[in-house]
Structure 1
Amino acid sequence: MGKPTLTDLNAFKAVAEHRSFRRAADLMGVSRSSLSHTVRTLERRLGTRLLHRTTRSVSLTESGERLLLRLNPLLGELDTLLEEASSHEGKVTGRLRINGSEAAIRLLLQHIVPRFLTLYDSVELDLVAEGRLVDIVKQGFDAGVRLREAVPKDMIAIPVGGEIRFLAVASPGYLNGKPIPETPDQLAMHQCIRQRLPSGKLYRWEFQQYGQDVLVDVPGVMTLDSSQLMVEAAVAGLGIAYVPEPYAHAYLRDEKLVTVLEDWCPHIPGLYLYYPNNRHVPPSLRAFIDLLRE
């Protein structure tokens, strides 16, 4: 059957990462049947099954897991080599993949990306926004952007902006006639808009005052998994929400929301761009980092 080709390996990688032949085919610009044939050819060449397929799902076999784990860094290094080889006269080219939370990607789009694409119009920028924290190396990303507390300890981290804080906010209509909470324990007298984390757990609200940390498992009849939706629910008068300040800023300015427990809402380290410290930094990522530092 011959040795696997780079096309075979990239096809497998796309299906394995997206767990979908349809999604991978759309992103690669090929037909689903063609992609399926390519992956089956790879399996025959390797003499092992890499994917479990059903009519509804795609999952990795043990062999597929091992191959993907080794393949991602190798293909990443290959992309870097090709990027460097194709660069001429100092021109930055290639593909830059960054994974981050929705808030992080939005911040990049507002403040960094327009300038970056103006300066480096030969770079293909691939930004992926998702709530769950992923292994950027395993998933084939050059860098990630998350809150500092979520950045893995073995990564190089660079600040993106300054400190941020979470604010407890509610609409004036909701608070009308109700006691304003002055300490976190008084949230028990209110409806709170709870947040479900990407892990599936409910987020316990974190407050601090005079060095005292307080975690509150707030009451509430509604749970959401999006800070933007939580803000909109608060504006609609459905309760008190606890969200990153940038999400609430415009509504606070327009007096559609007000803060409560503001003295209990501490500043925390904000967003950081991070990348592996044991791999060569591709020119496109280096250029992005230099722009961040400016």
Structure 2
Amino acid sequence: MAANRSDLADITYFLAIARHRSFRLAGLEVGVSASALSHALKGLEGRLGVRLLNRTNRSVTLTAAGEELRDAISQPFTAIDRALEDLNRYRDAPTGRIRLNVVADAVPLLFGSVLPLFAERFPDIEVDIVATNRMVDVVGSGFDAGIRYGGTVPEDMVAQRLSANLRWVVAASPAYLERYGVPGAPQDLQQHRCIGVRLGNGRIYHWEFEGPEGEFALPVHSKITVDDTQALLTLGLQGMGLIYGLEPAFAPYVARGQLNLVLEEWATQGPGYHIYYSSRHQVPTALRLLIELIREVRPLGL
């Protein structure tokens, strides 16, 4: 039987569901609600006369017929997507939608000065940013790309540097330092109040330093632990304790005298921000333009 227009639209939805094994994530990719996707797939299965998906409350899997259909049509539909994306080169105003998974600190530090300019240059491009410190499978979760520190980028991805290396420092409010004193060496932190940092994988971060014998990590005792830089800054500004983080995130408060850097001679540098994406897919024009603009503006050097 010949496919009609409704079949072609529903097959696009089917391929998204097959990639993500999730109606919710597929819906994010194609811009349709999970309930609308479910209704569309039931209609497609009814017209084809076969079941394509096994659905339970916890999982979505492909039937044998679904796997056969996916394998047969994935390549042609990928070629169509690539051809349509290539047309963006001929537009006066490029269009598209970029969905990014970004480590939280990178949002204000990288995008604060870039996104207003990007929106002005490319008003027809939509940008959807999910800011989280938790590592996710960007391809499986429906993202076009991820932004992380260089040392945490998955090895099977194509990566491009977006910033220079980043300096990690210790800071505190003047009121805290006046009351409890200034640590002279990292080992002095054991006698200080420190605000702990929980990483995206749930692990408590060991503060890193560099001394005469090289880099080392130091566990610090913390009665308060947070997983967000804004919360960290709020507590540090209130004099609750010493805080550890990216120097660019602390810089505005240091400039205003609200925070003082300590242990600067022990500060270490780490890999800068990198954007990464699957090597198996063509880079969308909208994403390429965003990468080019970040590298042009260089909000954190390069």
1:60 partner amino acid = S
Query: How many angstroms does 1:154 deviate by?
Result: 3.2
Q: Is the 1:194–1:220 contact (alpha carbons within 8 Å) kept by the matching residues of 2?
A: yes
TM-score of the superposed pair, with normalisation by structure 1: 0.79
Query: How many angstroms does 1:274 deviate by?
Result: 2.1
Q: Which stretch has the larger CA shift, 107-116 or 129-138?
A: 107-116
Query: How many angstroms does 1:51 deviate by?
Result: 4.2
SS of the residue aligned with 1:238?
coil
2:51 to 47, 52, 55: 47
- State the partner residue of 2:171: 169
Q: Is the 2:206–2:217 contact (alpha carbons within 8 Å) kept by the matching residues of 1?
A: yes
Q: Is the 1:15–1:21 contact (alpha carbons within 8 Å) kept by the matching residues of 2?
A: no
- State the partner residue of 2:219: 217
Query: How many angstroms does 1:287 deviate by?
Result: 2.1
Q: Distance in 1 between matches of 2:202 and 2:80?
A: 36
2:121 to 116, 119, 122: 119
SS of the residue aligned with 1:176?
helix
Q: Distance in 2 between matches of 1:178 and 1:270?
A: 33
Q: Percent identity?
A: 30
**Deviation per residue, 1:95-127 (Å, 9 max, x gap):** 222221122222343222222222222222222
Q: Which stretch has the larger CA shift, 155-164 or 210-219?
A: 155-164
Q: Distance in 2 between matches of 1:23 and 1:62?
A: 13
Aligned pairs for 1:244-283 within 5 A: 244-283=246-285
Q: Distance in 2 between matches of 1:224 and 1:173?
A: 21
Q: Distance in 1 between matches of 2:116 and 2:256?
A: 28
2:13 partner amino acid = N
Q: Distance in 2 between matches of 1:124 and 1:256?
A: 37
Structure 2 residue runs of 5 or longer lacking an equivalent are: 297-302
Query: How many angstroms does 1:211 deviate by?
Result: 4.5
- State the partner residue of 1:60: 59
SS of the residue aligned with 1:229?
helix
Q: Which stretch has the larger CA shift, 74-83 or 169-178?
A: 74-83
- State the partner residue of 1:56: none
Q: Distance in 1 between matches of 2:278 and 2:23?
A: 27
- State the partner residue of 1:139: 141
SS of the residue aligned with 2:129?
strand
Q: Is the 1:72–1:138 contact (alpha carbons within 8 Å) kept by the matching residues of 2?
A: no
Q: Distance in 1 between matches of 2:19 and 2:250?
A: 37
Aligned residue pairs, count: 285
- State the partner residue of 2:299: none
Query: How many angstroms does 1:63 deviate by?
Result: 4.2
Question: Residue 225 and residue 15 in structure 1: after superposition, are their counterparts in 2 closer, same or farther (change >3 A)?
Answer: farther
RMSD across aligned positions (CA): 3.7
Aligned pairs for 1:1-294 within 5 A: 6-7=9-10, 10=13, 13=16, 28=31, 34-38=36-40, 40-41=42-43, 47=51, 49-53=53-57, 59-61=58-60, 63=62, 79-85=81-87, 88-89=90-91, 91-294=93-296
SS of the residue aligned with 1:118?
helix
Question: Residue 33 and residue 245 in structure 1: after superposition, are their counterparts in 2 closer, same or farther (change >3 A)?
Answer: same
Structure 1 residue runs of 5 or longer lacking an equivalent are: 54-58
TM-score of the superposed pair, with normalisation by structure 2: 0.77
Q: Which stretch has the larger CA shift, 199-208 or 145-154?
A: 145-154
SS of the residue aligned with 1:194?
strand
Query: How many angstroms does 1:13 deviate by?
Result: 4.6
Structure with higher Rg: it is 2
2:216 partner amino acid = V
Query: How many angstroms does 1:291 deviate by?
Result: 2.2
Q: Is the 2:196–2:205 contact (alpha carbons within 8 Å) kept by the matching residues of 1?
A: yes
Query: How many angstroms does 1:173 deviate by?
Result: 1.7
